[in-house]
Structure 1
Amino acid sequence: MRVFLVQTAQGLTPSSGGYKANVNLLRSLSSQGHATAQICYAVESEIDQYARRAEIQGIPPNVTHEQLPVVDKEGFVHDLFIKTFTDEHERNDLSLRMKTLIALFSKHITDFKPTHVIFNDPITMKITASHKDRKSFKRINIIHTAEQLPFGPFVAGVDGHCLSPRVENDMLRDLDGIWSVSMAVKDYAWTYGRLTTTFLVHPPMTYLDKVTGGMPVVRNNIDKYEIGMVNPCPHKGLPILVALAQKFPQMTFVTWKSWGSRTAHIAQLQALPNVKIEPTTKNTDEIWDRIKVLLAPSLWHEAWGIVVTEAQLRGIPVIASNAGGLPEAKIGLPYCIPVKEVTGERHANGDYVVPDQDIGPWEEALAKVMTDREEYQALQALTATKAGDWLCGLDPRAHEKWLLSMMKAEE
């Protein structure tokens, strides 16, 4: 196969779970002998870094440079800087610095001659529908959030998602495959749109140690004292975090900003003396080496919650909500606490209206894990063992088989 991915995240190593799932799909397919490429946004330093890493592995990065003049809507001419290179996983990358250009996307799809084009944005869905080589490749959309889908209570609930619901709804029905990253997303697509999708867990490579390629190192963080949360914002459970920090002033909480964290949300945390705020990190080992417990109190229809799975594989207990796909990410481990999910109603600033929550179960679980050493040790061992067994039980070729089945269907 020749698999071409259109990546809309900003940068070659964003912290979002959706990006990790996308890029590790390509890495998995590349390791299985298939040709892969992606088009993405990047900064100069990232390209240099990836090229050096490829050279260390004995792979020529073959960096090329191209400059394309682009006229904006005001009539001014800008230069679009394009670089192509091969990374350490032998995946070809094309990096951009400006908005997606239809002609550019089409050109590189043509040049690569893919058997499959994979994307999670409506622009590429439209581009590939009318591409001159449309009949020569399969079109696959990855659904990372309910907000991507053009129907249901959460349609367009996140900036940049679902630009034209009616048009996108029609286009989705014409795809060769749709990958839902959880049963929660698959069920949502069917319930609200009668849209058939395929559920596949993220490729196992998503969760392996990024340096060694082996199983993640299990931490022994019983003597750590910080309680962590990633991406503090209302629909990710910011009200629960604030309530817990106020309830336990003797405990230390640390948060890592991410795509949902706005200035107003950070201001709420800055008002709490026992909460630390860290910048977005692309190296999650910084988190796992530091915290004793992870909070994942999401209140929206979470697709999966990669950060939950990552923590559990390292033996770090996670106290999570039961919103969306989080119970799937928890794989039956304690604690998974019922919450009142957002309904889709939003404030004027775009934030979801968050229902009042029962904090009692959160207080009880956190106090137990943070103060009872025997409880923590038992939960740490159970978490690492069960998560490790779960990962080892995944089929590393599931996505490959699914993509190949689309080609066999024509035979």
Structure 2
Amino acid sequence: MKILLVQNMIYVPTHGGASKANRLLLEGLAANGHSCRVVVPAFGTQVSVKTHEQFIHALETRRIPVTSVSPEATVFRYNNVEVHAVTDKARLYDYVIGQVSEFGPTWTLVSNDDPGMLMLEAALEADSSRVVYLVHTPQALPFGPKSFLQNEAQTDSVRRAAGIITESNHVKDYVKRWGGLDAAAIPFPIYGSGPFPNLGRFDKGYVTLINPCAVKGISIFLELARRMPDVQFAGVPTWGTTEADRAALKRLPNVRLLPAADNIEEIFSQTRILVMPSLWTESFPLTVREAMLHGIPVIGSDSGGLPETKLGIDYVIPVKLIERYEDRFDELGNPIPIIPEQEISPWEETLRKLLSDRALYERLSADSRDAALKFVAGVGVAPFEDYLENLVPMPTAERGDGSSATPAGGQNPGTADLRSALGNLSSARLELLARRLKKKSVGGLKTVTAIPRRSGTDAIPLSFVQQRLWFIDQLEPGNPAYNNTDAFRLTGRLDREALERTINEIVLRHEALRTTFPTADGKPVQLVAPELSVPLPLTDLSRVPAAEREPQARRLVAEESQRPFDLARGPLVRANLLRLGEEDHILLLALHHIVSDGWSGGVLFREITLLYKAFSAKTPSPLGELEVQYADYAVWQREWLRDDVLEQQLAYWKRQLAGAPAMLELPTDRLRPAVQNYRGTYQSVTLPK
């Protein structure tokens, strides 16, 4: 296989658990004969390598030969893996797309430790059929209660991945519960083949915390050091340690800072006990298992997958997990958590017990080592190989596998530039952006609350947008100007039954597609039908002469786009299938704008892809139930945007538009007709760069 790893973390040196897991996985695959390539930033803000000069120095000190150097990237080989370290982080998105095209990977592995999910978007844009998402950090997922920033559009991107791999069953269950997605929990082969020296020493070494920072429990660590001045502590700063954290550690005379190391044994050889009082949801903290493997006792919190990592060995101490973050970032670009008050006594009592009882220490050291050795004996690259070799690519039109759907038109060309720009923002600008995005109120308006599910099934008010569209339809009944028609070209062998089931599953899933707009007491209302069957009639053009098929197909698409809808009676969604050949079809979907828009078109396309793949394979729908429907939003909007709130909004726009012309007069070559006829055309012009 050809494997491409994409991550928004540096590759060398490797200090973080996720980066280390990814690197050693690729090296293991390369050792088994697979062709492996990596695209990463050359340096970053969260690690010791912050400049290009420091990056080159890191390569030189490790005697890593450079293969080639260009303005875009430095290429080197490290343990049989070809690494492309991109110099300008703002170009990382485009570079990933270029490498997918050039390398042609069997699978592109994307690590989820990536602010803004730029790498996943780049991989999907380059080849959406062969992306596997590696989930190391629940907080970086766009869904669930632990997410830094929940985002439905980014959740849809995760759903487009052909497969998801997690490090622990805890995260696998989290992905299923909150994202409705299946994942495979596969331990990463980070441990090597040994031997693993027993480094546990009762009377020698530090009480060590790796990556001392807020989310990793530095507050507990510092308080332990204050309460136990006769004990020597050590902190190993890595990606999360801020200057304030370093200063707090340096103020205590019994705390020493140790440099991060590529070889973790350099840290463990100076460690007596490892503490991990983590306050955020851990996935599968690899350092814990590595410490146990070397006979180092670990005192850890009950956070996320940490107890799973401990393999039933003492000690696990309950903590109050972080639930909220401030609307700003630290200088490393990490969200600043609000730390709940913690109970320190259980940590102090456990630590004192281990430091004072040699028999207890040595028994715990031996038990930890034995459990870890048994676990590591069953870990390797083979499960990853089996998973990737048996994984089915997601369908795309270009691959011609029969389950593809490609919408007419392309992606907004400005999207990539925007994503690259966001990925290159300074911490100060990210903080400003976060403040503005998370601001809860404007100009004294009352707080915007979450959208609740409505109660009852009675007539539902229209949203303001729907009311405007309904009013226009009353002025000009049956006007097709607000028809949204999408044409999807389907290539390959088609399962028509699965496609029809897909369309009706989407109609069942989205209440808006089962909604009509009659009047009650002279006012329009929404009525949601409990069920609606949408047929998929077939028009066979395959017997038409080849030269006439495309023109006839275009004519039928145009005719379908002009067929009027009856908003009061419905249905407001229609489906048609055109057959141009045995493995060449066009799916036509027509919806009225009152139940659809440009954004929902993207959701429609993604759900067609996912559902068709499932139904053609005779498997259930992979999509979970929607938490909120459009009618819920309409009820919420009407409840919120009224009285003083509505008056303030109206007053603002009246001021803004005061003196605006009633009609925009453009210098056109023809006079505006007395009655709008919607006739027009377009002229394409190419502007020079």
TM-score (norm 1): 0.85
Aligned equivalent of 1:33: 33
Partners in 1 of 2:352 and 2:16 — Cα distance? 29
Contact 2:128-2:160 within 8 A present in 1 as well: no
Partners in 2 of 1:112 and 1:396 — Cα distance? 22
Aligned equivalent of 1:128: 123
Contact 1:256-1:281 within 8 A present in 2 as well: no
Q: Secondary structure at the match of 2:22?
A: helix
Partners in 2 of 1:380 and 1:154 — Cα distance? 33
Quote how far apart the aligned CAs of 1:280 are. 3.2
Aligned equivalent of 2:101: 110
Q: How does 1:396-411 map to 2 (within 5 A)?
A: 396-407=381-392
Aligned equivalent of 2:132: 140
1:3 aligns with 2:21: no
Aligned equivalent of 1:189: 175
Quote how far apart the aligned CAs of 1:145 are. 0.8
Contact 1:186-1:197 within 8 A present in 2 as well: yes
1:207 aligns with 2:198: no
Contact 1:2-1:113 within 8 A present in 2 as well: yes
Residues 263 and 66 (structure 1 numbering): CA distance in 2 closer, same or farther, change over 3 Å?
A: closer
Aligned equivalent of 1:15: 15
Partners in 2 of 1:408 and 1:129 — Cα distance? 12
Residues 62 and 14 (structure 1 numbering): CA distance in 2 closer, same or farther, change over 3 Å?
A: closer
Aligned equivalent of 1:77: none
Partners in 2 of 1:19 and 1:97 — Cα distance? 18
One-letter code of the match for 1:354? I
Q: Secondary structure at the match of 1:398?
A: helix
TM-score (norm 2): 0.52
Bigger Rg, structure 1 or 2 = 2
Q: Secondary structure at the match of 1:352?
A: strand
1:388 aligns with 2:383: no
1:219 aligns with 2:199: yes
Alpha-carbon RMSD? 2.3
Partners in 1 of 2:327 and 2:208 — Cα distance? 27
Partners in 1 of 2:3 and 2:106 — Cα distance? 6
Aligned equivalent of 2:85: 95
Aligned equivalent of 1:317: 297
1:255 to 205, 222, 235: 235
The one-character-per-residue Cα deviations of 1:40-68 (angstroms, maximum 9, x if unpaired) are 23322344456x46xxxxxxx6712323x
Quote how far apart the aligned CAs of 1:107 are. 1.9
1:154 to 138, 146, 171: 146
One-letter code of the match for 2:224? L
| Structure 1 unaligned residues grouped into runs of 5+ | 54-60, 68-79, 157-161
Quote how far apart the aligned CAs of 1:226 are. 1.6
Partners in 2 of 1:407 and 1:194 — Cα distance? 19
Residues 397 and 265 (structure 1 numbering): CA distance in 2 closer, same or farther, change over 3 Å?
A: same
Quote how far apart the aligned CAs of 1:277 are. 2.2
Residues 5 and 355 (structure 1 numbering): CA distance in 2 closer, same or farther, change over 3 Å?
A: same
Partners in 2 of 1:39 and 1:304 — Cα distance? 24
How many percent identity over aligned positions? 31
One-letter code of the match for 2:69? H
**Number of aligned residue pairs:** 374
One-letter code of the match for 1:111? E
After superposing on structure 2, the runs of 4+ consecutive aligned residues of structure 1 that deviate more than 6 Å are 408-411
Quote how far apart the aligned CAs of 1:317 are. 0.4
Stretch of structure 1 that moved more, 307-316 or 92-101: 92-101
Quote how far apart the aligned CAs of 1:83 are. 2.6
1:343 to 293, 313, 323: 323
Partners in 1 of 2:174 and 2:13 — Cα distance? 29
Partners in 2 of 1:355 and 1:347 — Cα distance? 17
Q: Secondary structure at the match of 2:337?
A: coil
Contact 1:38-1:92 within 8 A present in 2 as well: yes
Residues 48 and 152 (structure 1 numbering): CA distance in 2 closer, same or farther, change over 3 Å?
A: same
The one-character-per-residue Cα deviations of 1:71-104 (angstroms, maximum 9, x if unpaired) are xxxxxxxxx3x232332x3211112211142332
1:172 to 145, 155, 158: 158
Contact 2:8-2:119 within 8 A present in 1 as well: no
Quote how far apart the aligned CAs of 1:233 are. 1.3
Partners in 1 of 2:11 and 2:80 — Cα distance? 18
Stretch of structure 1 that moved more, 222-231 or 306-315: 222-231
